Every structure is written in C-alpha cells, then in structure tokens.
Amino acid sequence: MRHVTMRFDGSRLELLDQRLLPGKVEYFRAGSYRDVVYAIKEMVVRGAPAIGAAAAYGLCLAAVEYRHLPTGEFQQKFAVALAELAATRPTAVNLVWALKRLESIADAFTGAPADLAGVLEAEADAIARQDAEANRAMGQHGNEVIPQGARILTICNTGSLATVEWGTALGVVRTAHSDGKDIHVFACETRPRLQGASLTMFELTEEQIPATLVVDSVAATLMNQGKVDVVLVGADRIAANGDTANKIGTFMLSELAARFDIPFYVVAPLSTIDDNVRDGSEIVIEERSGREVTHIQGVLVTPPGVDVYNPAFDVTPAENITGIITEQGILRPPLDREIARVKGGQ
C-alpha cells in the first residue's frame, strides 16, 4: 500500500512524517505556515518536488491566517511568510519555483485578501497534480532505457515520499516493475540521514520490488563485479549546462559509472532545471549539522566535539550524465543545448 505524502484540506496540511519511517506511519499536522517551515527544515518532508508542493500549501496557510487583515498589512505579513518558506532549504530549486508561482498570482490579484486563499489553493493543487503527472510521464520515458532484467543502482529517496506521488528515479523503477520487467534495485543507504535505508527500502518493500540495501561505499565493488546495468538518480537543481546537484555521494557514483562504462541517468521534472544558474559552481549547497554524522539514533559514535563537514548535496558534472529523463522525454548531450530548447519552449 502506498501512503499519501501530503494532503491539504484548506486549513491544515498533513505530511507523512518521514523522520519516523519505516517504524511508524504518522502524519505531522501543520496548521500554520510556521509549522510548514519547521517541517521542511526538520525534514518531516523532504525531496525536491515534495518540498516545493509543501511550501506552496504553506503559503496558502499564511493567506488563510491573514485573510481578515487590511490589504497593506496582509501584503507585508504574506511577504514575510513567503521569505521564511523560501529560506528553509537552499539547494532544491522546486521550493522557490513553486513559491514564485503563487507569488505571481498573489501579485496580480486585485480582490480582497479574504478571497486570495482559495485562488492560491487552486494553484498549489495544480502544482501537486502536475508533479504527479510529470512523474508518470518520466516513468514512461525512463522505462525505455531499462532493459529486461536490469540491475539498477540508486541513492537517497526519489520515490513517492520525495514527490507528490510515484517518484522520479524511483518512479522509473516503479514503472519498469509494473511493466513486468524483472528488475533488481541496489539502494545506497545514503549516509548520514539514511534516506536510502529507511525510505527507499520502505517503498520498495511495500511494493515488493526486489531490492538489496548496500552501504554507500559498496558501489565501486558492485560495479567492478559487473552487477550494475544502470544508475538512476534524482536531482535538486540542474544548471543550464546540465551540471546536477543531488544527494551527497551522487557525484562519486557518476565518476564510478563513467569508469565502468555504465549508463548514468538523472530523472527530474523540468521544474528542477534552473536555467538562471549557468553551471554547478553557482548552486548553493546546503550544509547540515555535524550532529547528523556524529550521532546515530541519538547515540554519540565519535569522540565528543570532533570537527565535521556535512554537505547535504554535491554536483555531478554534465559530462558524466548519459541523459536527463524529464516529462518531455530524455535530454541527451549536449545537455546545455537540450536544456535551452526545453526551457525555451516553456
């Protein structure tokens, strides 16, 4: 059974609490935009498309909260809420992309503040619906590069939990499996937060898709043993030249894939492509608390006070990418030209 990642009823956003999975299936109830800010920062909800949709609903909650204020005061408080939501996590572009969609509607709105919330909710619903549709389309396009019997290596969680539903890289896995292909997934555990171990293995187990969990450093061995046919990863932000920010460790997998001549695909909706940044060097990489590394389930596993470097993402250079699987098809090198083509047509 697939669990709903988020649901919105006009006054409350419920988020499947991903901090508790796989042990507990519980929903976090966000009654205000501040709760949504907390949920994104603390990774109750995570994954680029999911935080974009959650932030959009968070802004709806701000519009509901301030609906009785005079226009000037409403606009001031609404702008603060928008800025706080936008600042929750820096790397995934879907967050600001979704907020900008709502902001431009609010800017053009000429009615009373009390009437804005409904209009914004319709746009947030559209973002959610379009994400789900994009994932299904990516699944179909991606399925074309998955051979019968494929052994697929992936990292982090890019499934229904990281999106509104279905998933990006894991969505391709889902489509190939539903298509009857006899596939096998190797899921990297994804230190330090273990999204691969706790979330990807949760989704694969629930759907009975054959899978093996490996620690991240097994990737080279697996590839050297000829056990990987294709690597599928998600993305948090793709630059105009195709350089791709994704979970820390992705760059390493891409280098290994290049060495062993294994196809390496990024699976992401067009909303993840940020053609305002020229290349990966311009992408802001989130650094998270050292505690994520020094502690495992609350237990200190290092000498106290050690220095830690904990970037949450890295950048895979475009040259290592075989193709970017989007809802409009597979973009193949030269990626800069293909990205300009699809983004120009939007």
Residues in contact with ligand MRU by the rule CB under 6 A = 46-49, 92, 156, 158, 162-163, 168, 195, 234-236, 246-247, 312
- Convert 123-149 to b/e letters by CB count within 10 Å (16 or more is b): bbeebbebbbebbebbbebbbebbeee
Distance CA 248, CA 315 (A): 8
In sequence order, the 6+-apart residues with CB closer than 8 A to the CB of 8 are 14, 57, 60, 121, 124, 125
First to last CA, the chain: 35
Distance of CA 5 to the CA centre of its chain: 12
User: In terms of Cα–Cα distance, which of 117, 121, 138, 2 is closest to 57?
Assistant: 121
Q: Min. distance of Cβ 295 from ligand MRU in angstroms?
A: 17
Nearer to ligand MRU among residue 271 and residue 294 (C-beta): 271
Distance CA 255, CA 316 (A): 8
Q: What angle do CA 14, 18, 23 make, to 5 degrees?
A: 115
Q: Min. distance of Cβ 339 from ligand MRU in angstroms?
A: 17
Q: Min. distance of Cβ 73 from ligand MRU in angstroms?
A: 34
Nearer to ligand MRU among residue 65 and residue 190 (C-beta): 190
Supply the residues annotated as catalytic: 236
Nearer to ligand MRU among residue 46 and residue 101 (C-beta): 46
Nearer to ligand MRU among residue 117 and residue 228 (C-beta): 228
Nearer to ligand MRU among residue 46 and residue 151 (C-beta): 46
Q: Min. distance of Cβ 225 from ligand MRU in angstroms?
A: 25
Distance CA 311, CA 133 (A): 31
Radius of gyration of the chain (CA): 20
Q: Min. distance of Cβ 252 from ligand MRU in angstroms?
A: 14
